[in-house]
Amino acid sequence: MPVNPPAGADGLIVVDKPGGMTSHDVVARIRRLARTRRVGHGGTLDPMATGVLIIGVGRATRLLTYVIGAGKSYAATIRLGQSTVTDDAEGDVTATADAAGVTEEAVRSAVVPLTGEIDQVPSAVSAIKVDGQRAYKRVRDGEAVELAARRVTVSRFDVLDIRRETVDGAAVLDVDVAVDCSSGTYIRALARDLGAALGVGGHLTALRRTAVGEFTLAEALTLSTLEEVAPEVVNLPLDVAARRFFPQRQASADEAKVLSHGGPLDPAGIVGPYAVFGPEGGLIAVVSERGGRARAEIVLAPA
C-alpha cells in the first residue's frame, strides 16, 4: 500500500466503490475517516455500480472539476431482451422480447453505430436537471421526461463475451462489454440503445468503472482498507496528484510569488490546463494560456 501523508493532508483518494452505496455515501464515510468536512467526489457512480471513484480532500477538492471532465473506462454487462424503466437492473422491467434469434454477428454490428462521436439521449432516470429539478425525481413522481441528446464520444465499445440465458421462460442475451468514453456518457443509455437497435430492448445489469483518466483500479483502495489507516486516508497527496493529472511547468521564485497572488506569467507554450510548481516542488496553481499570458484557473498554494 502507498505510504500515506499525515492526517488532514490535502489530496485525492482513488476509492473502489462498493455496490449499494451512493457516491454521496462514500463522501460521508471519508469525511468521518479523514476528520474533515472538506471532501467531494469527482464523478457520480450509481448505487449498483462499483469501481473507481475519485475523492478529493481539503484543497484537492478544487481539482475535482478537472477529474469530472476526464475520460472514463468501464466493464459492463448488458442484458438484451428486457427493458427497464431505469435502463438498468435497479428499475422494474417494462418490456420483454425473445432474444433467441439475435446472433453474435448482429450484436457486434449493432455496437458500431454506437461508437465514435454520437448524439446520446441520457437515461430519463438521471441527475440532469429539468426546470430546476432532477430528472429522476420527476420520473419517480410519475412524469414523462424527455431529455435532449448530447454529443459524447465512445472511443471503445468492445464485445467481450455473449452468454445465452433463459429468464422467466424467455431467451435473453447477457453481453459483457468494455467501454472507453468521454465524460457525460451514460453506459445505461448505451445498453438501452443497443437493445433498441436489435429490436429486443436492453438494460444494464452490471457496471464497474475501471479508470478515470490515468487513475485505475490497480491503485484503488477499498473502504475497509481506508478504515484501517484512518485518518491517514489520502493516498495521492495534492502535489503528486497534480503531477499525475496535468502537464507541468516549473516556476522560479519570483514567478511563484506572482502566481500565488493570482498574477499572470509569461506563456510557456504548454497546452493547458497545466500545473505550475514552485522551486521547492509544491503545487502553486493550475493555469491556462490565453491572451498571451499564463493565467491561474485556480490557485492552490497555501495561504
Catalytic residue positions, numbered: 46
- Burial class of residue 136, CB neighbours in 10 A (0-12, 13-18, 19+): middle
What is residue 62's DSSP assignment?
A: G
Q: Among candidates 181, 27, 58, 176, which has minimal Cα distance to 114?
A: 181
Sign of CA pseudo-dihedral 245, 246, 249, 251 = negative
- Spatial neighbors of 265 by CB under 8 A, at least 6 apart, are 251, 255, 258, 259, 276, 287, 293, 294
CB 50 within 8 A of CB 18: yes
Element (H, E) at 163: strand 150-167
Q: Which residues pair with 54 in a beta bridge?
A: 14
Q: Which residues pair with 267 in a beta bridge?
A: none
Q: Which residue has the cell 462498493?
A: 18
What is residue 106's DSSP assignment?
A: H
Q: Which residue has the cell 495561504?
A: 303
